[in-house]
A and B are shown apart, each in its own frame.
Chain A
Amino acid sequence: MSAETLLPWIPVFPLLGFLVNGLLYLVAHSKLGGKDAPLGAHGHGGGHGDSHAAHAADPDDHGHGGHGDIPFKAVHTWIGPVASGLSFVFALLAILSWWKETGGHREVVATLWTWIPMGTNAGWFGAPDFTVDVAFRLDPLSALMLGFVTFIGTLIHVYSVGYMGHDEGYGRFFSYLNLFMFSMLTLVLGANLAILFVGWEGVGLCSYLLIGYYYTKDFAADAGKKAFIMNRVGDWGFLMGLFACVAMFGTVDFGKMFAAAAATPATYAAGGLVTFACLALFVGATGKSAQIPLYVWLPDAMAGPTPVSALIHAATMVTAGVYMVVRCNVLFRISHEWALKTLGEGASVWGLLTHDASFVVAVVGGVTAFVAATIGLAQTDIKKVLAYSTVSQLGYMFLGCGVLAFGAGMFHVFTHAFFKACLFLGSGSVIHALSGEQEMTAMGGLRSKIPHTYRTMLIATLAISGVPLLSGFFSKDLILGETFLQGHPWLWALAALTAGLTAFYMFRLIKMTFFGEYRGPKETWEHVHESPATMTVVLWILAVGAVVVGYVGIPNFIVPGGNRFEAFLHPAFPALPPDWTPHPHQASHALEYGLMLGSVAIAGLGILLATTFFYKGSAPWALPAKVVAAFPNAYRWVRNKYFVDEAYEAVFVNGLVKKGGRLLWEIDARVVDGVVNGTRHLTVGLSHVSNWFDRTFVDGAVNGVGDSFQAAWKGYGKLQSGQTQNYAFGMAAGVFALVCIYIIFA
């Protein structure tokens, strides 16, 4: 079958899985189905972001194979992972036939139907018919995303079979997870910005549903809502960027848009149009990919079950922003060149920030990477550390895109998906083993009890820290090197420092979790057990991935042509006219090697510091405590995430929205409606006046007239005697008179 016919089927399976799982779940849990409180007791009262509350609540829950009365459990177990697996198979088939058909040089587009026809409208540069098609596109970029999203997605479905095995919302969980796969695949495959946005909002919805999965817990429901609304703030930006593209190109189809832009960049760059579109789109990316200023939802999102954190909030969904920026690389490159042309040499930072969308992306990425890493230093919740680590790594990806090394950014997306998914699932396994405990202060010494988890997490940690020959090393080093070579030494310094911080907090996590003495309650220790095979096998697959996937991108200066990753992606970066293409930078191999050694050294320093910092001898906390005591304020700020959440809450949520809403509501009731009611009172008042006037004067006059008539006719009344003769006489007299008149006048 051709790629074009295979393509539309890829998202269909998870969609069907969602429908079947969801309907079965509803049937089983409605009153009609005979069950009373379907999602009753997730009773854990703990205040912290305990995603695994169900386990913590109920020790019985841990007897494996214990109460198995989850309705349709077998069906859910099959449909969920199989739907995702079928997507993986079809994705592979589609990619294979695409490769056979085009050699990877051309895209294949499958147009299904016209979605939104908007009629004839005048855009800024012409008057085409605006239509948005439901269409899917397979090109190197989407093939890459498609591959790892379906692969890791399927693994995490399998992992969830074990992890969520005792949860009463099992079917609900799988239906949401399938819906997520559907949305993510739509996002990745969408052939235009609007379909991408469909997936974009879809994954946002699933994120909302899954973060708030333990919805009886207020913190979970709050976190879900926060994620959705912050993402909507980003989506507002995304939509503006999309509209700008509509206005500029008269289409949102990637192929047509970028062909037009690449043909005449000057037309679209003029006046900063492209920069506006890019910045607006990037606002969207900061929401979805948790960058400053919209990053605060992601750490809270850890309230969701751990497989969700791994799949959605580490490996796939949060990289959608990076994917979108890479997808629109033509626009960002044009914006960059336009800024250079407009500003000339030696532009100020402010000038660049207002003209060069790429530079904004780089700065936001670099700063986010650093800030999130510092916060990660002082967190004690294992998932929170990983969450800030994710924010930080996403910052790296944007940094890469911002310095126009889109391939490097994508490469980090790819490697990060493996090692971060492994880390999250590993933390899930730890939490599972400790019956829901997430605080690292209550862990320690787990190395021997859960060896598979320990080993896989250690491998992934080495990878994320940038230890040579593991995947993270290749991708991170590429970004760092490009940042320096593109002429951003300060951003390079920031990113290199962040690399050291990364190594430090990751090894801190490993040390606190797996080494030293166990610090939690005794009875939990008795229960500590390695996770079932569905989980550990997945961990090992990901750990192997974390080691090997980097080898598709060996730097070209080490092995010429070694970066096959970038070569593969190359067709996704169409050429611009020569005067819109930056001069290729010439760097000596010595410099490139030097940069690489530098980043390795920094990572090594971080690891060394972390391993010596914690657990020396019998007083493991002595050194960290000393540091905290030395810098109490710095610690307080970092520990409390710089109070950004509190500031947002105070200014936006309570200030603008709630206070503003209440104020407007008062105005509505008192002023706007006051005018209406005032009119009513005025009218009623006037009516009373009129009434008085009416009775006194108008009616007075009428009555007066009436009275006088009455008086006048009083005499006449006497005629009405009631005697027939009198009336007969009257009649005869009348007839006589009429006859007389007739005779006289006729």
Chain B
Amino acid sequence: MNGLLSLLILLPTAGALAILFLPREKTGPIKALATAVAGLTFFASLPLWFARGFRESAGFLFREDLSWIPSLGVRYSLGVDGIAALLILLTTLLSVISIYASYTAVKTREKEYYIFLLLLETGMIGVFCALDFFLFYVFWEVMLVPMYFLIGVWGGPRKLYAAIKFFLYTLFGSVIMLVGIIALYFFNTTGFLWWKGLGNAPTFDILHFHAIAPQIPADLQLWLFWAFFLGFAIKVPMFPFHTWLPDAHVEAPTAGSVILAGVLLKMGTYGFLRFSLPIFPSAASTRWVQLTVVVLAIVGILYGSLVAMVQKDIKKLVAYSSVAHLGFVMLGFFALNNAGMQGGVLQSINHGLSTGGLFLLVGIIYERRHTRQIADFGGLSQVMPIYATLFMIIALASLGLPLLNGFVGEFTILVGAFLADWKWALFAGVGVILGAAYLLWLYQRVFFGELKHEENKGLQDVNLREVLTLAPLIVCCVWIGVYPKPFFAMTAPASAKIVAALDAAKGAPPALSAALSAAPAAPVPSATAVLPAAAALPEAAPRGN
């Protein structure tokens, strides 16, 4: 079905344009139109789920390729693999949910609000579709603008600080990434600094860079890896680049938080999958690079969990839990094996569902009480039993209870980490304990005990619309928890391809790494190094991964 991706990208923008022509007082039609457009986009994205090609090969499907700026070799090139397709599905789902969830939460400048949400959706889908670096970068930056306004206009008391911090911090990372892109571009053609170019025709084609990855010298790979790393690590966010996240989350309106946690953070992890790992495989599999990222990931898990524990604001607690969850994702990626990679991809989706759900739930209670301080609640189970039940389900999904989605992701990631180095799993596993601790403690303080506060006694339980916003998320949580196979099947070929590239890089150093041939390749972690006590293993033990 050619043109599907363009359709997905353009539909929300077309909707935004249509809303532009509606009078601003007609909030009813504006909401209806926005929801309809987002819903239409979601349905239009469903063919991605049913495309069998993703389950069969790692290739890019739904390709579109048009010349855009010929002199620079820039093309309007779109295409998705299983990973991107799944992320687009998550995007379209969360978009329609967050629009539908905003009906009563946003009461000022509704017209602009929905326009920005729709423009944001265009940007997000574009990022996941783009197969041209230039196009990718355009979408990557375009997406910042509506988010900036969503936080800055409809946010909480410190919205301006948070919005600017979000914008500048991410922009800082992106600019360094842009330098990396330009360096790659020149290396491909005429050369970059002292690195001799490959003499190819100028292009920004991402797949082309995947193909020339083995030809990129190891030292250049290292530099570029860190340039891209900064851009993506800020977006993920990894410790210690995470401090924009709690501010942005706390100040953003509910829909903003949902999108931010559900999709925007995934752009960082997606960046690692699409660029950092496949284009710089030898850098990524260098032992000290791998260790650095893994240590940051594990620190993020433990640190995020511990800091989440002591938060007084529910939303901030959820925000810090995101840091921990994304730490798991990164740990999975940098285990550099199939289990870790697949687990990481699935956990990206899981985090979007369960943390998105938590933000929706926080939004529901905030609308009723205009506070998010944990101390202002207590005993809510008595007045809002359905809300309490929904909260419990999502919290359990988030803390990784088996038969809900979080477990499948964390389990697979930890298997990958354990196979790479058992100590990683040992430390990261502590995050599983802490995850239960902060969420259950939160739950206890909000829902259990006596109803202490007079204001809480008359609280209304969730209404049908609110249940409808949460229901799809819960269905997906249970689905992935009980039968994740279709999800794994969709991402398996794509992630196996990345792992294969990494394995190849580990096995044979790049041919053109003459410039850095003196630098020894880090020792390959072998199976015998996994357990110190296992040193006596027979020689037959295969080299790790």
- Which residues of A approach B to under 8 Å, CB–CB? 22, 26, 29-32, 37-40, 113-127, 130, 194, 197-198, 201-202, 205, 208, 212, 215-218, 221-222, 225, 228-229, 232-233, 235-236, 239-240, 243-244, 246-247, 267, 270-273, 276, 657-658, 660-662, 664-665, 668, 672-673, 675-676, 680
11 residue pairs bridging A and B, Cβ less than 8 Å apart: A124-B534, A215-B381, A215-B448, A216-B379, A216-B382, A239-B414, A243-B422, A271-B536, A276-B533, A665-B310, A676-B243
Interface size on B, residues (CB 8 A): 84
- Distance, CA A113 to CA B530, complexed state (A): 32
Chain A CB within 8 A of B171 CB: no
Q: Which B residue sits closest to A200, measured CB to CB?
A: B402
- Distance, CA A22 to CA B390, complexed state (A): 12
- Distance, CA A202 to CA B242, complexed state (A): 33
| Cβ B385 vs Cβ A26 within 8 A | yes
Q: Which B residue sits closest to A127, measured CB to CB?
A: B542
- Distance, CA A448 to CA B342, complexed state (A): 66
| Residue of A124, A246, A267 with most partner-chain B CB within 10 A | A124
Chain A CB within 8 A of B545 CB: yes
User: What is the CB-to-nearest-CB distance from A60 to chain B, in angstroms, rounded to a whole number?
Assistant: 21
| Cβ A122 vs Cβ B419 within 8 A | yes
| Cβ A117 vs Cβ B402 within 8 A | no
| Cβ B342 vs Cβ A119 within 8 A | yes
Known: A122-B543, A216-B449, A217-B449. 14 other contacts (CB 8 A): A26-B386, A39-B385, A117-B489, A201-B402, A216-B382, A239-B414, A239-B429, A243-B425, A247-B422, A657-B437, A664-B306, A665-B311, A668-B307, A676-B169
Given contacts A32-B461, A661-B307, A221 and B449 within 8 Å (CB-CB): yes
| Residue of A120, A197, A232 with most partner-chain B CB within 10 A | A232
| Cβ B412 vs Cβ A232 within 8 A | no
- Distance, CA A127 to CA B543, complexed state (A): 10
Residues from chain A with a CB closer than 8 A to the CB of B441 are 225
Chain A CB within 8 A of B232 CB: no
Give the interface SS of chain A, mostly helix, strand, loop or mixed.
Answer: helix
CB contact between B165 and one of A115, A117, A664, A676 (< 8 Å): that residue:
A676
Q: Which A residue sits closest to B399, measured CB to CB?
A: A232
| Cβ A121 vs Cβ B545 within 8 A | yes
Q: Which A residue sits closest to B172, measured CB to CB?
A: A679
- Distance, CA A20 to CA B13, complexed state (A): 44
Chain A CB within 8 A of B538 CB: yes
User: What is the CB-to-nearest-CB distance from A233 to chain B, in angstroms, rounded to a whole number?
Assistant: 6
- Distance, CA A668 to CA B418, complexed state (A): 29
Given contacts A236-B432, A239-B432, A273-B533, A30 and B403 within 8 Å (CB-CB): no
User: What is the CB-to-nearest-CB distance from B400 to chain A, in angstroms, rounded to a whole number?
Assistant: 9
Given contacts A124-B541, A216-B379, A665-B307, A270 and B449 within 8 Å (CB-CB): no
Residues from chain A with a CB closer than 8 A to the CB of B412 are 116, 118
Residues from chain B with a CB closer than 8 A to the CB of A657 are 306, 309, 434, 437
Q: What mask results when residues 517 to 545 of chain B are scored 1 for a CB within 8 Å of chain A, else 0?
A: 00000000001001101111110111111
- Distance, CA A664 to CA B242, complexed state (A): 13
Given contacts A119-B492, A121-B545, A658 and B310 within 8 Å (CB-CB): yes
Q: Which A residue sits closest to B310, measured CB to CB?
A: A661
| Cβ B415 vs Cβ A198 within 8 A | no
Stretch of B194-202, B285-293, B480-488 that contacts chain A: B480-488
User: What is the CB-to-nearest-CB distance from B29 to chain A, in angstroms, rounded to a whole number?
Assistant: 29
Residues from chain A with a CB closer than 8 A to the CB of B383 are 37
Residues from chain A with a CB closer than 8 A to the CB of B416 are 118, 121
Chain A CB within 8 A of B145 CB: no
- Distance, CA A627 to CA B224, complexed state (A): 77
Residues from chain B with a CB closer than 8 A to the CB of A658 are 309-310
| Cβ A229 vs Cβ B422 within 8 A | no
CB contact between A198 and one of B402, B436, B440 (< 8 Å): that residue:
B402
| Residue of B415, B433, B483, B488 with most partner-chain A CB within 10 A | B415
Q: What mask results when residues 424 to 446 of chain B are scored 1 for a CB within 8 Å of chain A, else 0?
A: 01100110111011001100100
Chain A CB within 8 A of B496 CB: yes
| Cβ B385 vs Cβ A29 within 8 A | yes
| Cβ B461 vs Cβ A122 within 8 A | no
- Distance, CA A37 to CA B450, complexed state (A): 12
User: What is the CB-to-nearest-CB distance from A251 to chain B, in angstroms, rounded to a whole number?
Assistant: 12
Chain A CB within 8 A of B76 CB: no
| Cβ A37 vs Cβ B449 within 8 A | no
CB contact between A270 and one of B343, B426, B534 (< 8 Å): that residue:
B534
- Distance, CA A39 to CA B527, complexed state (A): 56
Given contacts A113-B483, A233-B433, A228 and B309 within 8 Å (CB-CB): no
Residues from chain A with a CB closer than 8 A to the CB of B401 are 201-202, 205
Residues from chain A with a CB closer than 8 A to the CB of B386 are 26, 30
Residues from chain A with a CB closer than 8 A to the CB of B243 are 668, 672-673, 676
| Cβ A119 vs Cβ B339 within 8 A | yes
| Cβ B339 vs Cβ A130 within 8 A | yes
Residues from chain A with a CB closer than 8 A to the CB of B492 are 117, 119
- Distance, CA A233 to CA B418, complexed state (A): 18
A-B pairs with lowest CB-CB distance, top 10: A119-B338, A243-B418, A673-B243, A271-B533, A221-B448, A661-B310, A198-B402, A118-B339, A661-B306, A661-B309
Chain A CB within 8 A of B447 CB: yes
User: What is the CB-to-nearest-CB distance from B451 to chain A, in angstroms, rounded to a whole number?
Assistant: 8
User: What is the CB-to-nearest-CB distance from B497 to chain A, in angstroms, rounded to a whole number?
Assistant: 11
| Cβ A276 vs Cβ B342 within 8 A | no
User: What is the CB-to-nearest-CB distance from A32 to chain B, in angstroms, rounded to a whole number?
Assistant: 7
- Distance, CA A216 to CA B308, complexed state (A): 24
User: What is the CB-to-nearest-CB distance from A675 to chain B, in angstroms, rounded to a whole number?
Assistant: 8
- Distance, CA A22 to CA B495, complexed state (A): 40
Chain A CB within 8 A of B244 CB: yes
| Cβ A38 vs Cβ B382 within 8 A | yes
Residues from chain B with a CB closer than 8 A to the CB of A229 are 433, 436-437, 440
CB contact between A271 and one of B429, B434, B484, B534 (< 8 Å): that residue:
B534
Chain A CB within 8 A of B250 CB: no
| Cβ A122 vs Cβ B433 within 8 A | no
Chain A CB within 8 A of B240 CB: yes
| Cβ A38 vs Cβ B385 within 8 A | yes
- Distance, CA A403 to CA B534, complexed state (A): 26
Residues from chain A with a CB closer than 8 A to the CB of B342 are 118-119
CB contact between A118 and one of B309, B338, B447 (< 8 Å): that residue:
B338
Chain A CB within 8 A of B479 CB: no
Q: What mask results when residues 338 to 369 of chain B are scored 1 for a CB within 8 Å of chain A, else 0?
A: 11011100000000000000000000000000
- Distance, CA A216 to CA B378, complexed state (A): 9
- Distance, CA A267 to CA B307, complexed state (A): 43
Chain A CB within 8 A of B60 CB: no
